[in-house]
Chains A and B, each alone.
Chain A
């Protein structure tokens, strides 16, 4: 197996913060893959994504990214943004994302401040900022949180459209969404 074929290889990874909370787990991701991460609460799904970005401690095993691979990471926990006077359009612009494929019902709101948006609108903008950034590998952690069914459907369609030119690792409790978009699954035990 030539590692050059892969955007990401995770080999016998055990990761956590004070102590390991996930692993050992192994999988690989290449262009065109949409890999779903499944597991019960506390199984270390978010910790696994954090280990890939360097945000959690690797106790054993390794994470190998293709040299030069660009990665975006939509994190599950949002920041306390209530007072930062940033508009939705400015948020998208930070990552180099464009507005063109945003759901039509969000577009009129991109000029508004983030703290004047609904939770679902804010979540979709966050996801889009990561999804449409000029990156190769996209990590999505519960992207459907607070998003209504039409928004989830739009996100699924966009992920499938982008498949050819990107790789995606996605965590979600929405089983139907995962089954709709993922090319394969990685199951994490408790």
Chain B
């Protein structure tokens, strides 16, 4: 065990960068789940990884390519969404294939490729932290305004249209937000770690929260908890961060199911859906 690594100043900056994404992504994941579009998150993350590699091959900042490709996918989402999950699955396959082909054929992409797919958070620098902080500020500004509108449009799909208004701009802003978040997170913590932070905490929160505000808090809190445990475990055990975070999130989800099952056995009527 490498206990000294936990206190090494070298890892403070990566820790804070990841902490930002561990706070923001699960909150955005709540709204992706609300729209039943969690598969889009994985598709955006894969495309962002391919964009990141292409960008680095061209000598450009990897984050620029990740943002451009994920943003492009979000802009095309209306067209992709017509095919439903099939569209997202195809996008995911294409993104993965492009990334792997670049890794196989361009030696300079190999280092970044391993970071993206292994989730080596420790290579992040001040640039990653700066854009993560900017993304946090933008999300904190926009999401309180967007939240009520996204929820209203989901629960009352006719509400805006009935009064001659369009909800399209709210969806577009959210799509760009989630694409940017996944692009930046993918280039900092890797594909599956970014997807895991979007997918797992929101899944737990949906099951256990008493209301929407509570679910957002539970999603963020469970994500932060899992992130801190995974960061420490990866350093102590000298393992790549991405898989350790994925396993920690999966363990958290399993614990949540066990607790719910136990509670359900104790009070079957209090936890079931309407009678």
Closest to A122 in B: B274
Q: A73-B156, A84-B154, A95-B159 are in contact. List 9 more A-B contacts (CB 8 A).
A: A53-B158, A55-B158, A70-B163, A71-B162, A85-B209, A90-B151, A111-B210, A116-B270, A118-B274
Q: How many chain-B residues does the 8 Å CB contact rule pick out?
A: 30
A115 in contact with B274 (CB, 8 Å): yes
A94 in contact with B156 (CB, 8 Å): yes
Residue in B157, B207, B274 with the greatest tally of chain A CB atoms within 10 Å: B274
A129 in contact with B156 (CB, 8 Å): yes
User: At the interface, yes or no: A54 with Cβ under 8 Å from chain B?
Assistant: yes
Query: Which A residues between 121 and 154 are near B, CB-CB below 8 angstroms?
Result: 121-122, 129-130, 135, 139
A→B interface (CB under 8 Å) = 50, 52-55, 65, 69-73, 75, 79, 81-87, 89-91, 93-95, 111-113, 115-119, 121-122, 129-130, 135, 139
Residue in B154, B159, B161 with the greatest tally of chain A CB atoms within 10 Å: B159
User: At the interface, yes or no: B141 with Cβ under 8 Å from chain A?
Assistant: no
Give the complex CA separation of A84 and B207 in angstroms.
Answer: 9
A69 in contact with B211 (CB, 8 Å): no
A84 and B159 contact, Cβ closer than 8 Å, known pairs A90-B213, A94-B148, A111-B211 = no
Residues of the A chain whose Cβ atoms lie less than 8 Å from the Cβ of B162:
52-54, 71-73, 139
In the complex, what's the smallest C-beta–C-beta distance from A127 to chain B, in angstroms?
12
A87 and B212 contact, Cβ closer than 8 Å, known pairs A117-B274, A135-B163 = yes
Across the interface, B212 reaches (CB within 8 A) one of A73, A85, A121, namely: A85
In the complex, what's the smallest C-beta–C-beta distance from B85 to chain A, in angstroms?
16
A113 and B158 contact, Cβ closer than 8 Å, known pairs A65-B164, A82-B273, A94-B152 = no
